[in-house]
């Protein structure tokens, strides 16, 4: 659509508080012409760098490249945030139309021989630079190489085609999953269908029905609704319906079937890797990680897997005992496990989610996260109603440091919606940098909690909020010069450390006593309940570890295949692999390939779902520094955590950054202890 710059708010100065996108005036038809204009502006900036007469040096080449494309980055960030968090058929159509051109633009930039030649000259002379400049040059040079800059001309042409097609397919994969999630619902009719559901689940189901314009109660595939339903519903037949719909996302014949889409993605990724001279996509992907090789990543999975299998069998025995005591016979099916685990949790640990949730009202959990950030890092969060947001669910905050200086803007979007993808994630509308005019970070957290009056969270939900807030802090606390090195743009198996280590604080008794208060009475959570939660925290870790590790094993295996043609039936490949690995019946896995958005909605975690476990080795070992210091808010340890983990972005090699924080490299024992796996082998 032809739209002049004068009528397109995206191409005008963003005259909003802190320069946020003017969300209230944006329409889907604004994005295609705006992104086209911004891509042209970026090409013009790069042309000036490539054709200048001056000899390549850091300032006129590397630093200039890092500054280029700011307008494109801002518009693209606004667009992709909307397509994830508040999409529409019109936005989805624009997303499909732009997937190829955006990928083509990226390829053209990184295959420009003139630009790469200048970057290569600076790279060859990098030892004369300071540490942060050298890191930027090394990362930019590697970006060019991994995007095909060194390939022969014919291979470059094919590589660009592969990347464009991958962009189209990953967009389609994500939209197919969203379709299956948003179109399925289970209506509950009468008290018989509601049997066993606590008030908070009923309230969320009523809210889900009201949002869809129907009376009564609905179960949707939002994780924060379907998991409690599987946990509490006494109706085994309805649990089975919900479970089958949940695990069947992406596997429904017709327009939104992801089985062939995933195969096409795997086929193209294999070709991408072979163009780079790698035998498999896993080899290509892992080359730029802390692990470095399949052997290292698989080695960690192999360390945990047998211990997790032993732990889950101990848990199964407890569940069977509970079933028999209740007069139930037969085997535990996947739709039964959470239900019977909840019965055991109640019986053995006197912990009931229905008792716990009233102490975890969403607003109080948000304030607990803010308070921990204040006590650890000196940050203060002030609500700002004048900052433009894209949906009424979103809350905007101005973030200041101890001296009162604004350090960033934080947006939090906590509720599930039909037009929002599932899961939880952090994203950025703008990265922190000071290469040129200093720019404040604008950081977003998305969660998918089912709405209620009020919204009550499980302890797992609260951990999720703290996890994403840890990512958010990684973006907000960034203190680097260059955009490319800012915030969470680190090696992928390091990126989960700042998020996972922050989860620890929501389990600290000191934090719970301060913030966990009953939503009706305001009474603090009883010490006896905190003690029970502490005793119960390792119960179910076998189940969770097996499900996670099974998904990581499948991911690594499918991306390690060297054949150009992927398996004809990915679902059969997955089932046969897990059977060979000894996945116990009734347990299942976190994500099946046909809806595994970590892998197929983008390349971010492809051959890298192991990242969470790798980072958990770091976070468990790292949090022990606070334990050793005797306080979860020890100022000296918090200062090291800020300086060496949260603030440095990608300006320091991650292994060196961790060693600077901890004083040594990590060990795996704290992870095994945390998950209760030391006795399991």
* Catalytic residue annotation: 468
| Distance in angstroms (rounded) separating the CA atoms of residues 308 and 305 | 5
Q: How far is the C-alpha of 91 from the C-alpha of 88, rounded, in Å?
A: 5
3-state secondary structure 171-233: HHHHHHHHHHHHHCCEEECHHHHCCCCCHHHHHHHHHHHHHCCCCCEEECCCHHHHHHHHHHC
- Name 410's bridge partners: 397, 443
CA distance 629 to 56: 49
Question: How many Å apart are CA 336 and CA 483, to the nearest integer?
Answer: 48
Instruction: Single out the residue of 540, 560, 653 nearest to residue 273, CA to CA.
Output: 560
Retrieve residue 13's tokens.
Answer: 């100065």
Closest among 556, 622, 567 to 305, alpha carbons compared? 556
* Collapsed DSSP state (helix, strand, coil) of residue 486: coil
Strand partners, 399: 381, 408
Give the chain's end-to-end CA distance (angstroms, integer): 62
What gap in Å lies between CA 509 and CA 624, rounded to an integer? 16
Peptide bond into 454 cis (omega under 30): yes
Would you list the DSSP string of 355-366? HHGGG-BHHHHH
Query: In terms of Cα–Cα distance, which of 105, 114, 117 is closest to 141?
Result: 117
Which stretches within 276-336 are classed as H helix? 281-286, 294-325
Instruction: With beta carbons less than 8 A apart as the criterion, state whether 65 and 109 touch.
Output: no
Report yes or no: 261 and 175 within 8 Å, Cβ to Cβ. Answer: no
With contact defined as beta carbons under 8 Å apart, do 124 and 458 qualify? no
**Cβ–Cβ under 8 Å, residues 318 and 348:** yes
442-449 and 406-415 beta bridge pairing: parallel
DSSP string, 553-615: HHHHHHHS--SSSPPS-HHHHHHHHHHHHTPPTTT--S--GGG-HHHHSSSTTTT-TTHHHHH
Max distance between CA atoms of the chain, in angstroms, equals 84
Say if CB 452 and CB 203 are below 8 A apart: yes
Structure tokens at 372: 């921990």
Instruction: Give which of 595, 594, 670, 681 is closest to 627, Cα–Cα.
Output: 670
Please state, in angstroms and rounded to a whole number, the distance separating the CA atoms of residues 73 and 182.
Answer: 29
Token couple for 240: 């089975």
Using DSSP, state whether 13 is helix, strand or coil: coil
Q: What is the C-alpha separation between 361 and 358, in angstroms, rounded?
A: 6
CA 11, CA 38: separation in Å to the nearest integer?
Answer: 8
The answer to whether 427 and 74 have CB atoms below 8 angstroms apart is no
Separation between Cα atoms, residue 558 and residue 412, nearest integer Å: 35
Tell me the β-bridge partners of 506. Answer: none
């Amino acid at each position: 659509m032809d739209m002049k710059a004068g009528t397109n708010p995206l191409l005008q100065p963003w005259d909003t508080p802190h320069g946020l996108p003017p969300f209230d005036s944006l329409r889907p038809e604004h994005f295609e012409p705006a992104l086209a204009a911004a891509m042209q502006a970026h090409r013009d900036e790069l042309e000036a760098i490539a054709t200048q007469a001056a000899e390549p040096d850091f300032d006129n080449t590397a630093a200039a490249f890092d500054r280029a494309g700011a307008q494109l980055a801002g518009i693209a960030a606004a667009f992709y945030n909307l397509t994830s968090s508040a999409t529409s058929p019109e936005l989805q159509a624009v997303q499909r139309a732009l997937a190829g051109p955006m990928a083509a633009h990226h390829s053209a930039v990184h295959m420009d021989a003139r630009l790469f030649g200048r970057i290569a000259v600076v790279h060859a002379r990098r030892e004369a630079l300071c540490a942060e400049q050298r890191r930027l040059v090394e990362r930019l040079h590697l970006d060019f190489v991994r995007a095909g800059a060194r390939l022969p001309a014919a291979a470059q042409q094919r590589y660009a085609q592969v990347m464009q097609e991958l962009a189209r397919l990953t967009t389609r994969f994500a939209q197919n999953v969203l379709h299956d999630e948003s179109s399925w619902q289970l209506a509950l009719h009468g008290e018989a269908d509601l049997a066993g559901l606590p008030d908070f689940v009923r309230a969320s189901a009523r809210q889900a029905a009201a949002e869809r314009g129907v009376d009564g109660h609905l179960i949707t595939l939002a994780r924060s609704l379907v998991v409690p339903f599987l946990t509490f519903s006494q109706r085994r037949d309805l649990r089975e319906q919900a479970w089958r719909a949940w695990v069947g996302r992406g596997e429904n014949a017709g327009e939104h079937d992801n089985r062939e889409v995933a195969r096409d993605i795997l086929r193209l990724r294999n070709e991408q890797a072979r163009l780079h001279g790698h035998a498999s996509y896993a080899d290509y992907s892992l080359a730029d990680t802390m692990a470095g090789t399949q052997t290292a990543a698989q080695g960690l999975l192999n360390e945990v897997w047998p211990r997790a299998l032993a732990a889950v069998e101990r848990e199964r025995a407890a569940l069977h005992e509970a079933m028999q005591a209740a007069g139930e016979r037969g085997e535990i099916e996947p739709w039964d496990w959470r239900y019977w685990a909840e019965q055991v949790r109640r019986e053995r640990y006197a912990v009931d989610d229905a008792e716990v949730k009233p102490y975890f009202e969403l607003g109080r959990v948000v304030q607990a996260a803010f308070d921990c950030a204040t006590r650890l890092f000196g940050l203060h969060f002030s609500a700002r109603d004048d900052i433009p947001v894209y949906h009424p669910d979103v809350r905007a905050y101005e973030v200041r440091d101890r001296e009162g200086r604004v350090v960033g803007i934080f947006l939090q979007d906590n509720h599930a919606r039909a037009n929002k993808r599932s899961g939880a994630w952090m994203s950025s509308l703008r990265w922190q940098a000071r290469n040129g005019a200093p720019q404040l970070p604008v950081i977003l957290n998305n969660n998918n909690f089912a709405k209620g009056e009020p919204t009550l969270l499980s302890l797992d939900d609260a951990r999720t909020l703290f996890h994403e807030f840890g990512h958010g802090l990684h973006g907000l606390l960034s203190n680097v010069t260059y955009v490319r090195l800012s915030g969470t743009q680190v090696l992928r198996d390091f990126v989960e450390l700042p998020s996972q280590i922050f989860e620890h604080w929501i389990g600290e008794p000191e934090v719970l006593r301060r913030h966990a208060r009953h939503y009706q009475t305001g009474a603090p959570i009883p010490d006896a309940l905190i003690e029970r939660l502490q005793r119960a925290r390792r119960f179910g870790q076998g189940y969770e570890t097996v499900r996670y590790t099974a998904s990581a094993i499948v991911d690594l295996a499918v991306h390690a295949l060297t054949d150009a043609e992927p398996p004809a039936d990915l679902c059969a490949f997955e089932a046969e692999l897990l059977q060979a690995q000894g996945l116990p019946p009734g347990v299942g896995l976190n994500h099946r390939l046909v809806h595994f958005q970590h892998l197929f909605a983008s390349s971010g975690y492809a051959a890298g779902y192991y990242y969470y476990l790798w980072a958990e080795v770091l976070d468990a070992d790292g949090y022990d520094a606070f334990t050793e210091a005797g306080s979860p808010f020890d100022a000296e340890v918090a200062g090291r955590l800020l300086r060496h983990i949260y603030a440095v972005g990608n300006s320091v090699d991650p292994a060196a950054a961790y060693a600077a924080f901890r004083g040594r490299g990590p060990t795996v024992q704290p992870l095994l202890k945390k998950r209760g796996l030391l006795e399991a082998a």
